[in-house]
Structure 1
Amino acid sequence: MDLNYTQEELAFKAEVEKFFDEKAPQRLLDKVKARKTLTKADMEEWHATLNSVGWLAPGWPKEYGGCEWTPVQKHIFDEISNLRGGPRIIPFGLGMLAPVLLAFGSEEQKRHYLPRILDGTDWWCQGYSEPGAGSDLASLKTTAVKEGDHYIVNGQKTWTTLGQHADWIFCLVRTSKEGKPQEGISFLLIDMNTPGVEVRPIILLEGEHEVNEVFFDNVKVPAENLVGEENKGWTYAKYLLTHERTGIAGVGNSNAAMESLKKIAQQQTRKGKPLAEDPIFAARMAQVEIELEAMKTTNLRILAKAQAGGAPGAESSMLKVKGTLIRQELNVLARQALGPHAIPFVSEALEEGSNESWMGPDYAQGISKSYFNNRKISIFGGSNEIQRGIITKAILGL
C-alpha cells in the first residue's frame, strides 16, 4: 500500500531503516531470510535487542514500558522488519497476556508481571486448547478447585506453542460446572516449574518441535494468580483472542512473502519465459496481491480502533480468515512456481551449522517448510469456520 506518509512518519521510517542497518543482529536477519530454525537463544536475543531501544511493546502504555506507536508506525515497523528478515516477536506475553493484564489484572499483577515480560525474565505460553476442546473452547475440562488460598489444577492442554521454553503458562480452567459452560471458566497464571506440570513434545509435519502437550496433576497454584474475577475468564479469553487473531493474519509476513514470490516468478521459467509472464500464473499473483492490499487497510483500521481504547471486535475475525487464506495461497503459489525444486525437504538442512546438502536454488530453501507449517494457521486461534460464524452473527446480524 502506497501510503501518503506525513513528515513525522517518514522520519520514523528512516529511524527504523537505520535500526536495521546498524543495530539489528545481521546473523539473525540472515538466518530468518534463509528460513533457518531459530533457537530459544535467537528469539531471546531479538527480544532483548528491541527492548534495548524501547520498541518491544508498541501497544503498551508508556507507564508500563510501552512505546505507544500509532497504527501507521506499527505498520511501518512490521513491513520493514519482515522485508529485512526481522524474527517474529513471540506474542504470548507481549501481545496476548499483557493486554489482558492491562485491562483486567490487578495493579499488583501489572507491576509484577509486565516488567518481567519486557526484560525477558519470564517466557509465557498459552493454555487454551485441549483434546476435545479446540474451536469448541468452552467445553474445556481442566479443573481448578479452590482449597484455602490455593487452587488445585488437574487436566491437559494441547498444541501449546513453544511450551518447552516457557517459564509460565496462562490457562483457562474450569472453576464451576453450574450454568452455561462459558460461565464457569477462570483465567489462571501457572508457574511451569510447579510440581505436577509435565510438558510432552508434538512433532509437526515439517519435522520441528514447536508445539506440546501440557499435563497438570494436582498442581498447586496460589489464588493470587487468578486474573480478574472467578468464573469470568470467558470474557478475558475472548478479549485475548481478538488480539491473537489480529496477529495471526500476518500482514507484514504476507507482504514479505509476496515480494519473495515475485522474485521466484522472475527466476523460474516456463516455455523459455519467466513464470511472471505466464498469463494464468500472473493473474493468480495479481489476485492475491490485490487481496493483500485490501487487508492492509483493514489491519490499519483495526489497529486504530485498538489504539482508541477498544479491543478489536468481530473485525479481527475477518482479518484472521482473510489473512490466513492469503498466507496459505502465497505458500501454494511459491511451491507451484518452484516445481520439482519444492520436492526435496530435509528438516535438518534448516538447522544452524547443518552440513545437509540442499538440492534446489537458494531461494527455494525452506519453501516446503513454510507451506507445511502454515497449514495450521487457518485452524488455530479459532478455526476459520468458527470465525465465519462470528462474522455472520456479530456483523451481519444473522
Structure 2
Amino acid sequence: MWRHIASNVLTFLVVLVFLLGGVILWGQSEYNARGPLEEPICLRVERGSNMRAVSRKLQNEGAISNGTIFRVGADYTNKNSQLKAGSWLVPEGASMSEIIDLVTRGGASTCGTEVVYRIGVTDSEIEVRELDPATNRYVEKAAFKPGAEETPDAYETVRDQADTRYRIAVAEGVTSWQIVEGLKAVDVLAGEVTKTPPEGSLAPDSYEVRTGDSRAAVIEKMQAKQEAILNEAWEKRPDDLPVNSPDELLILASIIEKETGVPEERGQVASVFINRLRAGMRLQTDPTVIYGITKGEGVLGRGLRQSELRRATPWNTYVIEGLPPTPIANPGRASIEAAVDPAETDFIFFVADGTGGHAFARTLDEHNRNVARWREIEAERKTD
C-alpha cells in the first residue's frame, strides 16, 4: 500500500514538474513574443513609481497581455529595481522584454513634452511641443517670445514635470552675440557667459540640455562641434583652394552662409567668391558691410546706404582686398563644406532674382541685365 501511495506521489510530482516547466516555457514565450499594441504609445513613468504601477498602466493601454508575466520577467532579469522615470516611446507590437528594456535603460526621454528654445537670425522663440506617438511628429502646444509679460499655461505646466526635455535650436547664420543673448532666455540653464565667443566658433545645431546645465558648458559644446566640423573640412580641401588656413575657411563659409538662404545655391555662391579670390577681385558682398556696422549685435533692419558701401571698415569687402579679418556669423556645416567644395562655374557675379534665390552671371553685361531686372521687381513690389 505504501509503495502504491509513494508511486502515486512520485507520478504527481513528475506531472507537476512537467506542468511547471510548461508554464515557465509559456511565460517565457509570452514575455518575448510580439505584443498586442496596435500603434505606438507614449508611456510616462512617474518618479517613485514601480513595476506594478507600470504594468497596470501598460495593460490599460493594451500594450501587454499579462501584468504578472511582465513583473516576473522584470524580476527574473534583475531589472525590477532599475525603473527610470521619464516618458518612453513604446513602439507598435513591442514585446514585454523590449518594454522592460525601454523603461530601465535610462537616458533622455524618447517622447512626451519638449521645450525648444529657438535662436534665429532675425527673431527668437520658445516653443512647447509634444510628440504624437502615432505619427512620430511633434505637435506644437504653445509658442511665445522670450521676455513675454505672460507665458502660456502649457509652458508653466511642463516646467513642473520631471520628464520634460529641453532643447536649444541654433539657426545657421546667427552671430555669437545673438547666441549669447539667446542663451540668457533659456531659464533652465545656470551661470553667466562673461565674454562673447569669437565669431564663427559656434556650430549651429540642436542641443539637448538638462535643468541646471551651465551656459558656459553649452558654449563649450558648440565650440567643440564647430572645431570638429572645420577640421574635417580643412583636411578634405583641394590644393588650389585660395584660402590659407582653417580660420580663413571659416570666414569664407560665414559669407556664403549670409549670402543665401537657398541650400541648393551654396555651391554656386561659393564658386563666385572662390573665382573672385583667384582673380584678385574684391568680394563686394553686402553682408560684410552690414557686419561692419552692427558688429553682429542685432539686425540692421534696413537697406544699406551708398555712403555705407563706400565707408571703410575692416569688414567692408567693397573697400578691402580679399577676406575680412573675422567671420561675420556662425556658418553651418553645409556652408563650410561648400567653401571647400564649390560648384565648378565661371560665375563672378550674382544678384537677387525675386524668388528668394539669385541670378548668376559670368560677365558684367550679363550681370547688369540681371540687376536691371531685379530693380524692376523691386519697383513692382513697392507699387503693389
Which range, TM-score by smaller chain? under 0.3
**RCO (CA 8 Å, sep 6+): is it higher in 1 or 2?**
1
Higher helix proportion:
1
Give 1 or 2 for the bigger CA radius of gyration.
2
Q: TM-score, normalised by structure 1?
A: 0.21
Q: TM-score, normalised by structure 2?
A: 0.21
